[in-house]
Chain A
Amino acid sequence: SQKIEQNSEALNIQEGKTATLTCNYTNYSPAYLQWYRQDPGRGPVFLLLIRENEKEKRKERLKVTFDTTLKQSLFHITASQPADSATYLCALPMDSSYKLIFGSGTRLLVRP
């Protein structure tokens, strides 16, 4: 069955630097992959989707890459700010349906 691996250790970076988070999956390559942001005590919020035929997707300071050979997606936040501190989850479809498998997330801490 498909599994998602995200670094469970928090990523601690200085304000202004680029944060890079990793999402690895173990089995079949999904048709797309999604990234969500979750603040403490809140539900996740959808950020970006990247499809299998897209190498890179950008939205403002966010950039996502998708490497089906490595079975990996990278999530970058450029010019990071303390307000970017949150847990970031990746998710991919469980099969050909609308069900998603979520990673357990990586917590990002941006120091002022």
Chain B
Amino acid sequence: DVKVTQSSRYLVKRTGEKVFLECVQDMDHENMFWYRQDPGLGLRLIYFSYDVKMKEKGDIPEGYSVSREKKERFSLILESASTNQTSMYLCASSPPMTGQGEQYFGPGTRLTVT
């Protein structure tokens, strides 16, 4: 079974702090994604990566950056956390398009910025 793990389930940070969210997948997937999920807004794509060191912006990249130095690891960075970044953050990975394109999600990190 595919396993996607995230470094923390719950995180509380102060405004202005630099925040790192880590995601690791164990299925050698090329594609990895970071989403945030807010009530009524659904899942919104922040960034995705289709290969090591390759990244593209999603729908809401402002205030975030990412890093993918190894295939299995995709990190989301909040350079200077703000209260409007309080949210549930979900990481996902998917195999190449030769598969069904299904995405495998981690358990999520609930981030609170105070």
Residues of B within 8 A of A98 (CB): 31, 50, 94, 96-97, 101
User: CB within 8 A of B100: which of A42, A45, A49, A97?
Assistant: A49
Q: Do the beta carbons of B108 and A34 come within 8 Å of each other?
A: no
User: CB within 8 A of A102: which of B43, B97, B101, B106?
Assistant: B43
Residues of A within 8 A of B42 (CB): 89, 102-105
Identify the B interface with A (CB < 8 A): 4, 31, 33, 35, 40-43, 45, 48, 50, 58, 90, 92, 94, 96-97, 100-108, 110
User: Is A43 an interface residue when CB atoms closer than 8 A count as contact?
Assistant: yes
Given contacts A43-B4, A46-B104, 10 further A-B contacts (CB under 8 A): A41-B110, A43-B90, A43-B105, A45-B105, A89-B43, A98-B94, A98-B96, A99-B48, A102-B43, A104-B40
> By CB atoms of chain B within 10 A, which of A42, A43, A89 has the most?
A43
Interface string of A30-41 (1 = CB under 8 A from B): 001010000001
The complex places the Cα of A66 from the Cα of B91 at a distance, in Å, of 28
How many chain A residues touch B (CB < 8 A): the figure is: 21
> By CB atoms of chain A within 10 A, which of B35, B101, B107 has the most?
B101
